[in-house]
Every structure is written in structure tokens, then in C-alpha cells.
Amino acid sequence: MNAASTRFGSDVVQIEPTGTECEQTVIPEDIALTDLMDPSALPDETRGEADDEDVALLRLIDAGSRSAFDRLYRNYYRRLKRFLGQIIYQPQLVEEVLNDTMLVVWRKAGTFNRASRVSTWIFAIAYRSALRGVRRSSVPKEAERGEDFDAFKNEPEANVIQSQLCARVRTALNVLSVEQRAVVELTYYHDRSYREIATIVGCPVDTVKTRMFHARRKLKTALDAQELSEK
């Protein structure tokens, strides 16, 4: 397979073929991910054009390109904000952790070596930053996220039903630990495989499965309890 090149503005970047053998991902020191990645755990077919673009952007960022960084920032902003928002329930802290995450990306772009997808690498940084942020913050990890069901009064009926369902699930998610919420969010919303989630949260795949098992059980209990209380 030949190396391809991608153009970003005036910058041209050589991209290595995705099927090449990869070394272990170098994790930023300040993130301290101990068991990040078994290269065999992530099949190459899960990488696509988007990942090639991200790799090219990281190389430009490593070379000091602000425009490449801006582009990566825009590409990831919504995904990271949604992910962090589900782990940290304080909007101001979410913004702070998001920027902390991207600051690490800016500083450590050169350490990425394609053992995983770029998005997995960035989400792993975000997850660790989120845990640090939650520890720093005075609000407890399992802080309640209040739901105002009266807020749906003036909406059309179909929207009200959908909004109430969402609110119900969101309230049920409150009973989960930060670690369980991360697994649920990465599975349900971000469509990540359990192997990628293990990489992101830095734990064995069996731990991911166990967290999901307990999360589902808690969610079911919480949703059943809500239904009972409404009857």
C-alpha cells in the first residue's frame, strides 16, 4: 500500500497506510494511562478516512499549525462536550475539562503513533481529564442532575412525550457512577465497541462488560421505579 497525501490549506501531509504495523501508543505523561492499548484489540477496518484526516491534522499540530488545531477542535467539540456533559454535570467544568483535553492534544500530538484511532486517543485523554476535573470539583461525583418535568407544559404533545422519556432516562442515569455512565454513553450514544471503550477508560474489556452489566441493572431498576411512581 502506498502512502497517500492530504492537503489542509497550504499544508500537505503524508499519510501512512492504515494497515501498517503499529507500536504501542505513547500516552502523555500527565495522563498516566497505564494499560492503554493492545494493538490487536483494534482492527484496522475500524479506521477510515476520518481517522486519516485526524492523523494528518495531528501531524500538522505537532508542527505547530494553529489552523489544523482549530479544525480538529471544531471536529471534536460537539462529541467531547456531549461525552463530558454526561460524565460531569457542571457546564462550566465541562468547558474547562474540554479545553484541558485539547490543550493536552496540542502539546502531545507528536506522541500519537496510530496504535488506536485518533478519536479513541482523544476520548481517552478527555476521560482522564474528566475524572481529574470531578475529583478537583467540590460537587460529589454522583451529583443529582435536576429534571424539571413542569418545563414540558407548553410543548406539543409528541414533543412532550419524547422530552419526558429523555428526562426519565437522564434521571435514571443519575444513579450510575461516573465510570458506569462513561461506558453507557460511549456505547449508546457514541457507538463504541467494548474494546475501544476499554482503551478509552483504561481498563480490561471484562471490566467494561461488568460496568455495563451493573449499569443496565441499575437503569432498569430506576426506570421501573419511575414508572411505578407515576402510576
Partner 1 sequence: MKMRLFRFDDPAHAEAAELLPWHANGTLDPLERVRVDRHVAECVACRRDLAELLRVQEIVKADDDHDLAMPNSLDRMHALLDAGRRRRRTDAAGMKNKWARLPLWIRVALPVQAATMLLLVAFVIAGRSTEPAYYRLLGAAPTLAPDTDRIVVVFAPGTTEQTMRHTLLRIAARVVDGPNAAGAYTLQLPARTQDAALALLRARSDILFAEPTPLPQVRRP
> Which residues would be at the binding site for partner 1 (CB under 8 A)?
43, 66, 69-70, 73-74, 77-78, 81-82, 85, 91, 95, 98-99, 102-103, 106, 162-163, 165-167, 169-170, 184-185, 187-189, 191-194, 196, 209, 212-213, 216, 219-220, 223
C-beta of 21 vs 191, nearer to partner 1: 191
* Least distance in angstroms from the C-beta of 49 to partner 1: 19
C-beta of 23 vs 148, nearer to partner 1: 148
Q: How far apart are CA 116 and CA 42, in angstroms?
A: 7
- Strand ranges for the chain from DSSP E: 4-8, 11-15
> What SS3 class is residue 201?
helix
* Least distance in angstroms from the C-beta of 73 to partner 1: 6
* Least distance in angstroms from the C-beta of 169 to partner 1: 5
C-beta of 23 vs 191, nearer to partner 1: 191
Q: How far apart are CA 47 and CA 114, in angstroms?
A: 10
Q: How far apart are CA 174 and CA 88, in angstroms?
A: 11
Residues 41/199, Cβ–Cβ less than 8 Å: yes
C-beta of 16 vs 209, nearer to partner 1: 209
The amino acid at residue 130 is: A
Q: How far apart are CA 212 and CA 219, in angstroms?
A: 10
